[in-house]
Amino acid sequence: MKQKEIITPLFMADHQRDDENNVERGVAVKTRPKTKKPSQYRVVLLNDDYTPMDFVIGILVGIFKRSEGEATTIMLAVHKNGVGVCGIYSFEVAETKVGQVMDAAKRAQHPLKCTLEKA
Ligand code: TYC
């Protein structure tokens, strides 16, 4: 969903009240600093032929805080479709989780791959 840009004038120069037309007239000279919602990122797990299913479930429970049931569903979806979403997070959190997955896979010598993509 795209956020609408809202510019709210804080101060008006040459402020005048036009009672006849029931309006306020002036020139907006200052606006609020635009605040943006932080972008969200999908953390995506990729299938391979070698990483044990239990290892993937362990990753989903340990790093993505999924229940055993959710983790099994996600793992089987990745196994079947080739890719699957583990969760959606801010960039910093998504990047950290990708790093944690890649570290765990490397230490266990599994070829499991995990990436992030803009949601
Ligand atoms: N395909 C793997 C197997 O049959 C299991 C697997 C699932 C591996 C998900 C990676 O992201 C993955 N052992």
Read off the pLDDT of residues 1-39 as tens digits, 9 standing for 90 and up: 444 444 444 444 664 656 777 766 667 666 677 888 889
What is the spatial distance between Cα 38 and Cα 35, in angstroms, rounded to a whole number? 9
How far out from the chain centre does Cα 18 lie?
47
Hey, what are 78's tokens? 């990745």
Taking the model in full, what pTM does it have? 0.75
What is the spatial distance between Cα 17 and Cα 13, in angstroms, rounded to a whole number? 12
Read off the pLDDT of residues 23-82 as tens digits, 9 standing for 90 and up: 666 676 666 778 888 899 999 999 999 999 999 999 999 999 999 999 999 999 999 999
Nearest CA to ligand 1 atom 10: 47
Hey, what are 36's tokens? 């943006």
Cite the DSSP H helix spans in the chain: 53-62, 68-81, 91-107
Mutate to test the pocket of ligand 1, among 75, 102, 109, 113 (most ligand atoms within 8 A of CB): 75
Nearest CA to ligand 1 atom 11: 47
What is the spatial distance between Cα 15 and Cα 75, in angstroms, rounded to a whole number? 62
Q: Which atom of ligand 1 is nearest to the CA of 45?
A: 11
116 CA to middle of ligand 1, Å?
Answer: 18
Nearest CA to ligand 1 atom 12: 47
Hey, what are 106's tokens? 């490397």
Residue type, 84: G
Hey, what are 33's tokens? 């600093």
